[in-house]
Amino acid sequence: MNTLDAMVEFGHEQVAMYSDPETGLRGIIAIHDTTLGPSCGGTRMWPYESEAEALADALRLSQAMTYKSAAAGLNLGGGKGVIIGDSRTQKTEALLRSWGRFVDTLGGRYLTTTDVGTVGRDLETIRQETQHVVGLDVTLGGSGDTSIMTGLGIYMGMKACASEAWGADSLRGRTVAMQGFGKVASHTAEHLLEEDARVFAADISEGALDRARSMGVQVVGVDEIPGMECDIFAPCALGGVINHKTIKQLRCQIVAGGANNQLATPEDGETLHHRGIIYAPDFLINAGGVINAAAEIGQTYNPERARQQTERIYEKMAEVLATSRKNEMSTAKAANMLAEARLASVRKVRGIYRK
């Protein structure tokens, strides 16, 4: 499939590609939908095996950002930037500044922040070449580390699902199996441990596992975690982990985690529903990061305001669960309806037609 066909399939407005032989930069920015406002999404640096793989990731992730912002009630659209390369060995100041110049050519249609393979210091470097950056350190007037609010939002989503599954939202004594233990998972685990939940984690990084152990999280093998008997399975690494193969392994009542695009296909959401497993749509409960970033756009950042809006993820998740129950549909479909209804209403007001 060529790029234009892929854009039509996913409903994208724009895809921009950039190459800088001097720095080795090869990157893509996908802008999915700007109905609600400028597109916003992190810059991901990953050693993709091909341009096609990088493009597919940018398209999927930017589409998810549209739904994430719409469902969260933000005036932002969906975008995502991807850089083809290994962040551990190929990330340089020159490459990041070149990326910043690329972002700047879009004139504010895309606002970038951190993602897999980029950190706050990288944003400071990118900021040297463009103003269209969110999530800078609070000492620089930004909203800071997006993973803190993301972790809080996931925790709130878990509690809403717990209320649906067990009649009370307490997670005390519940077992949570976390697949991946990066920054977002760590912050989610802090809330879980504070409520006396039992937390298990698997990760390919020894550093992440050391952090887990230091927090009191029990470490298990990466092959063991998908089939582990638990109350909540929390995918917190890369996408596509909920698929026809792994669904058969699941021994949980709830799937709720921080990874983007957890479902390999839309049908996997239906399969979870038919199996009686409650699924917390990823774009709904991991929206804390973009909520936090949005709190600095055009205003002085207020952490309490960002926290209060992130805590409302509980209410959003409860609404999706109620819609799912009432209409006997999957939570994945119910969450999509919530986001699409807001997009449709704003398009109507603005006289925008999209198929």
How far apart are alpha carbons 123 and 145 in whole angstroms? 11
- Could you give the angle at which helices 206-215 and 183-194 cross, rounded to 10 degrees? 20
Contacts of 221 (CB under 8 A, 6+ apart): 202
- Choose the catalytic residue: 68, 80, 159, 183: 80
Task: Determine the Cα–Cα distance for residues 240 and 29; give it in Å rounded to an integer.
Answer: 21
At residue 299, φ and ψ (nearest 5 deg) are -160, 165
Whether 80 is catalytic is: yes
Q: Can you tell me the distance from the alpha carbon of 92 to that of 69, in angstroms, rounded to the nearest whole number?
A: 31
Helices (H), 167-287: 183-194, 206-215, 244-249, 266-274, 282-285
Burial class (CB in 10 A: 0-12, 13-18, 19+), 1: exposed
Instruction: Judge whether 39 and 62 are in contact, CB under 8 Å.
Output: yes
Give the angle 136-235-172 at the CA atoms, nearest 5°.
95
- Residues labelled as active-site residues: 80
